[in-house]
Each structure stands twice: as C-alpha cells, then as structure tokens.
Amino acid sequence: MKINTDLVRILERAQQGDALSKADCITLLEYAPTSVEAGVIRGVADALARRRFGNEAIILGQVGIEISACPAKCKFCSFGEGHTQFAPSKMTPEEILEAADRFTASGDLYALFLMTMHTFDFDSLLDVVQRIRSRMPTYPQIVVNIGDFDRAQAEALRQVGVNGAYHVCRLREGTDTTLDPEDRKRTIRVIKDAGLDWYYCCEPIGPEHTAQELVDQLFLGIEYGCFQHAAMRRVWMPNSPLAQHGQISELRQAQVVAVVALASLGCPDTRNIAVHEPNLIGLSSGANVVYAETGANPRDTEEDTSSHRGRDIRACKTMLYEAGFEHLLVAPNERRPLGNAFRE
C-alpha cells in the first residue's frame, strides 16, 4: 500500500521538530478518518506525543458549580438561554468542597476545575476558591472555566490561589453564540498576562466544520501559547439548535487530536493535550489528558453528570492504563507511576 508522498514529507518534518503550517494541517484533516493516511497521522502523532511527554498522563476533574439559562445562548450547549431544559440550581460551598474532596482523595488529580455559566457571581467564586485553598493549601492546581473577565479579576483569582483558566474562542464564536470573539481573545490575553496557565481547545467540533475552520480556530491556541491544547466534539442533544448537524465520530475526533498534537509541536508553551470527552482512540492519537466530571455539564442532559456522561477518577485512571500510559503527573513537578489501575 502506498502512502501519499506529500503526507510523508509533512510527517517527516514534524518528526524533525519543524512547526507545521496551517496548509499542512488542512492537508492532514482532509483525509477520510478511515483512510490509511489518517491511521498513519494518528500513529505518528501518538508516538511523538509519548516521546514529548515521557508517556506521562494527567487527570483533571471539573465541577460544574451552577446552572442557569446562560445569556451566551451557545447553540451547542444544554444551558443556552432559549433552548435549555434545566431549572436554575447552584451547588452550596459545602457541596463543592465535598466534590473537591472526592476528586482529590486518591492524590491522582492534577487540577480541579470550577465551571460556571458565562455570567456568574465573581465574589462567590472567590469565596469558594478561598475555602478550598484553606483546606488544600498547595494541592491540587485550581483552574476556572468561567465567562470573560478583566485583568483586575485575574489578579484577584491568582491572589486566592487559582493557577489557571480554561478559555476558548470557539468554532463559529459570534455565530453559534452571542459572544464577541474579540472579547474571548481579550480574556485570553488577560490570562496570559496574569501568568495563569491557559487551557485551550478546538471545540465544539461538528460535522459541518471545514478543515480551514478547524485549523484557524486551533492555531489560535498555538499563536497565543496555550498550556493545554485539546479537541472536543460537540455531543448531539435532541433539543440543541444544532441538532440537525449530528455528531462526528470518535475516529474523526481522534484525527483532530492528532493534528492538534502535531501542530502544537511548534508551541513550547504547550505541555499536554486533552481529548473531551475521554476515549481510547484520542488517547492513542496524541492526547494524554482526561477529565473526570461532576455537577453541571454543558454536554449532558442530566443535572449531575457524574451519574450519566461524567467519569470518576478511577474510570479515568483505568482508561489511561488501557491506553498504555506509565506515569501520572499529579503536580507541576511531581509524577508517580500509573500502576495497574485494576489492582487498586
């Protein structure tokens, strides 16, 4: 079987450490997910990522701390105002602390994520972080996944013990959402300027997105220097305004993971690659990060995702073991053997 010589040249350059261009990445994304070329792309991305990260994986845990009809009206999200089916709810600080305890009990978690809607009570968030930090002064990392914020707020978050922020200028931001892409980018610059770890993602990928759109969106993470890059597919939900487009396969998502992993070889700031939601194909195509989830989840139709789509720490660890990882990063400079997750 012959492999296209253009593809071989692109992958050889990646192996030599040369940064891929946008045109290279479009070429990689235009192969059918079932083609031999896509298989080779995923295989090379996997091998290079394992070498780059020392076959080390990371488990993150996200707590969705509140639900309300969100004014961002994202057409792919189960909380968007105008189509959400959820009644408003908010976890108490005690419930959030219990969730943090569950996620951190084994010591396997790298970072605890706190997720709100686009609009949220900033002072309540600071209070919750302070409570977590008074119980857990140095471990784990705390990351916020919240709406846009300014430099003063970034500083306030840092002061109470936040280490990073997940913030994305999404695919078709401003078209499939009511948000201004420039506001999203402004917050990303704030995150970087404040010295917080910036978590980015190519999301939420649907069948209607072209290779050019995917590449333009994922390169923002490289141009601005993300700490974490990732790929997330949009989960089909019957009441979503985008339901008619359906959902991409995990195989296609893994192809995007592979391209993200290869493209980010040119970004020294990128320290790990995630796949949302976790799956084995993504973890053998360049990703080394999985998320456990509890509470609200924009990809779920259940109020508490932990009984539905969300995985717990043990399930994440088992999946990483199945994917062949040997080490877990549990703090910025601390790794431990992954071990045999089945024996625990």
Residues making contact with ligand SF4 (CB under 6 A):
70, 72, 74, 77, 79-80, 117-118, 177, 298
- The encoded tokens of residue 31 equal 């192969």
Max intra-chain CA distance, the chain = 61
**Cβ closer to ligand SF4: 117 or 283?**
117
- The encoded tokens of residue 3 equal 């492999």
Instruction: Supply the minimum distance, in Å, between the C-beta of residue 175 and ligand SF4.
Output: 13
Instruction: Supply the minimum distance, in Å, between the C-beta of residue 72 and ligand SF4.
Output: 3
DSSP assignment string, 174-206:
TTSSSS-HHHHHHHHHHHHHTT-EEE--EEEE-
Instruction: Supply the minimum distance, in Å, between the C-beta of residue 179 and ligand SF4.
Output: 7
Cβ 62 vs Cβ 293: under 8 Å: yes
**Cβ closer to ligand SF4: 99 or 235?**
235
How far, in Å, CA of 313 to CA of 271, rounded? 21
**Cβ closer to ligand SF4: 204 or 278?**
204
Instruction: Supply the minimum distance, in Å, between the C-beta of residue 277 and ligand SF4.
Output: 15
Measured over the CA atoms of residue 184, residue 273, residue 279 and residue 35, the dihedral's sign is positive
Amino acid at 148: D
**Cβ closer to ligand SF4: 11 or 117?**
117
How far, in Å, CA of 281 to CA of 288, rounded? 11
Q: Please give the DSSP secondary-structure letter assigned to residue 299.
A: T
How far, in Å, CA of 267 to CA of 270, rounded? 6
Instruction: Supply the minimum distance, in Å, between the C-beta of residue 127 and ligand SF4.
Output: 21
**Cβ closer to ligand SF4: 115 or 323?**
115
Picking from 331, 290, 274, the residue whose alpha carbon sits closest to that of residue 110 is 331
Amino acid at 183: D
**Cβ closer to ligand SF4: 58 or 117?**
117
Picking from 218, 296, 255, the residue whose alpha carbon sits closest to that of residue 62 is 296
Element (H, E) at 334: strand 334-337
How far, in Å, CA of 7 to CA of 339, rounded? 37
Cβ 251 vs Cβ 281: under 8 Å: yes
Instruction: Supply the minimum distance, in Å, between the C-beta of residue 70 and ligand SF4.
Output: 3
Instruction: Supply the minimum distance, in Å, between the C-beta of residue 23 and ligand SF4.
Output: 31
**Cβ closer to ligand SF4: 253 or 297?**
297
**Cβ closer to ligand SF4: 77 or 283?**
77
Instruction: Supply the minimum distance, in Å, between the C-beta of residue 30 and ligand SF4.
Output: 28
